[in-house]
Amino acid sequence: MRAVVLDGRGGHELVDIARPSASAGELVIAPGAVGVCGTDLHLVVGDYPHGRFPVVPGHEFAGRIVEVGDGVTDFSVGQTVAVDPNVSCGECIDCTTGAPNLCDHIVPVGVESDGACAQFVSVPSTITYPVPEGMSDAAAALIEPLACVLHALDRSPSLTGKRIAVYGAGSIGLMTVIVAREQGAAEIHVVEPSPARRAAALDLGADSAVDPATGVDARSVDIAIEASGHPSAVSAAIDALDKRGTLLQMGVVSSEQTIPLRPYDLFDRELTFVGSQSLANSFPAAVEMMPRIADTAERLVTHTFSLAEFGEAIAAAHSDSALKVHLLPNA
C-alpha cells in the first residue's frame, strides 16, 4: 500500500509498505479523510516531544472497516467509523481517574505508531466509534478535533452567558467558535492575524474578529481560549482577562518557548490558568454532537489533497487561505 512517512527532520516520502492486517482485537480501516493539524506541522519538522520516527502521520481520521480481527464482535466490514487516536494503558492512575490523555504509556496513532496517511491503517477496536449513517467523511474526520475542543471546555467554566475571546482562528479556534455559539456564550471575540480567517470566524458565529495589533480590551473577557500556540498570544490572552477570569491553553507552544508572567496578576485578579491537551474521554460526546453541527463544521474543510500531494497539503495548512486541510488517502 502507499503511505506517507516522516523522518522527523523535515523530510517526507510517499512509499510502498506492507498493508497491515488485523490482529486480535483490531480493525483495519481504509481512511476516507484525514485532517492535518498543528501537531502534524510540528511532527513534520520533528518539533514535537512525543513523536517517534520514522512514522506514518495522520491522527484525525474516519473511514471504512475492511478487516475485523479475532475477538471483535461489535464491528463489521463496511461500517464507517471515526477513531480516537489515543491508545492508553487503561491501568495507571491517570487512566483510572479520567485522564487517559496524560497516561505515561500512551501511544498516539499517527504520532508514536503509524497513522492514517496511508491507504490502510490498523487500530484497536476499543478506540473506534461508529458514526451516524449518512455522515460525510469530512464531518466524521472532524470528530477528533471537536473532541479536543469539548475536552478543553470541560476543563473551563461554563461558556453560557460568558464573554470569551479565542486567540487563533485555525481549525481548532474556529471549531471553538462553533461550539461556543452552540453552548450559549454571550460574546465571542476572535483575535487572528489572517483576514481570511477573521472573515471565517465571523461567518461561523463570532461577534467580532480583530488583528492582534488591535486585540481586545484589557480585562474585558471572562474566558480567554488560546488556540494559536504563539507565546505572544498567550500573553495577550492573560491581559484580556477580567477579574476571576480563566485562561484556557489549547495551543501547542514549542516546548522551548517561555513568556513573561506577573504573579501579581494571578493574586490581584484571582486568575485561573488551565491547560488542555488532546481529548481525554470526550470522543463519545463529540460523536453525539457532530450531527447537530455537521453542516457548519464541514465549512471548515477548505482544501483536500491526495497522499501524493502531502507536501502541498502541509504548505496549505501553513497558509492564510486554509482553514482545515484534509488528505483523501483512497480518493
Angle at 101 between CA 123 and CA 55, to 5 degrees: 45
Please name every residue paired with 31 in a beta bridge, in sequence order, or none if there are none.
Answer: 63
Mean pLDDT of the region 274-291: 97
Question: Structure pTM?
Answer: 0.96
Mean pLDDT of the region 299-328: 96
Range from 38-47, 125-134, 260-269 carrying the lowest mean pLDDT? 38-47
**Cβ atoms 82, 22 nearer than 8 A:** no
Region of 64 please: left (phi>0), alpha (psi -120 to 50) or beta.
beta
pLDDT tens-digit map of 6-23? 999 899 999 999 999 999
Strand 163-167, strand 187-191: pairing: parallel
Q: Rounded CA gap, 28 and 310, in Å?
A: 22
Q: Rounded CA gap, 297 and 169, in Å?
A: 14
Mean pLDDT of the region 268-279: 97
Which amino acid is present at 119? Q
Q: Rounded CA gap, 120 and 126, in Å?
A: 18
pLDDT at position 254 is 80
**Cβ atoms 80, 140 nearer than 8 A:** yes
pLDDT tens-digit map of 158-190? 999 999 999 999 999 999 999 999 999 999 999
Domain boundaries, the chain: 2-143+279-327, 156-275
Mean pLDDT of the region 289-315: 97
CATH assignment of 2-143+279-327, among 3.40.50.970, 2.60.40.10, 2.70.98.60, 3.90.180.10 = 3.90.180.10
**Cβ atoms 256, 229 nearer than 8 A:** no
- Average per-residue pLDDT for the chain: 96
CATH topology of domain 156-275: Rossmann fold (3.40.50)
pLDDT at position 216 is 97
Pick from 181, 164, 152, 148: nearest CA to 222: 164
Region of 167 please: left (phi>0), alpha (psi -120 to 50) or beta.
beta
212 prior amide bond cis, ω within 30: no
**Cβ atoms 171, 300 nearer than 8 A:** yes
> For residue 196, is pLDDT > 80?
yes
Look up residue 72 and give its three cell numbers: 471483535
Q: Rounded CA gap, 301 and 292, in Å?
A: 17
pLDDT tens-digit map of 200-259? 999 999 999 999 999 999 999 999 999 999 999 999 999 999 999 999 999 988 888 999
Q: How many CB atoms lie within 10 A of CB 205?
A: 17
pLDDT tens-digit map of 42-96? 899 987 777 899 999 999 999 999 999 999 999 999 999 999 999 999 999 999 9
